[in-house]
Amino acid sequence: MLGDDSFADETLLQADEKLTSRVTVDAVISEVCRQFGISEAELIATGKARPASEARAIAAFLTREMANLSLTELAKKMGRDVSAFSQAARRLDISAKENGQLAKMVHQLLTDLKMSNTSR
């Protein structure tokens, strides 16, 4: 690759920002539902059933990782309190550092979201 490392890093960062800026909260919800094999209604439903609860935490984490999205937007969409999503994202972040399989799944979802939105 031509240029120095800082040029390459900056170029890659700009490309990642362009991909991220196309991701929507609806896309995050859709991707998480697909991954967990649940409907949007199941994801949004109240309760602490494990699959839906874990899926909501991952949706919160993914939303937080996207530069153009906010947990407030996700909370409004799902009719929940933003602080619950903030806590869930924080807990998931800690869990992912201890659980390689979870970290890999979350990383793959982030990649899938960014790549699936390149054509939109």
Domain that holds residue 38: 5-116
Asked if residues 75 and 82 have their Cβ atoms less than 8 Å apart, the reply is: yes
Can you give the pLDDT of all 120 residues of the chain as single tens digits?
455 566 555 555 554 444 445 789 999 999 999 999 999 999 999 887 788 999 999 999 999 999 889 999 999 999 999 999 999 999 999 999 999 999 999 999 999 988 876 544
- Three-state DSSP at 108 gives helix
CATH number of the domain bearing residue 59: 1.10.1750.10
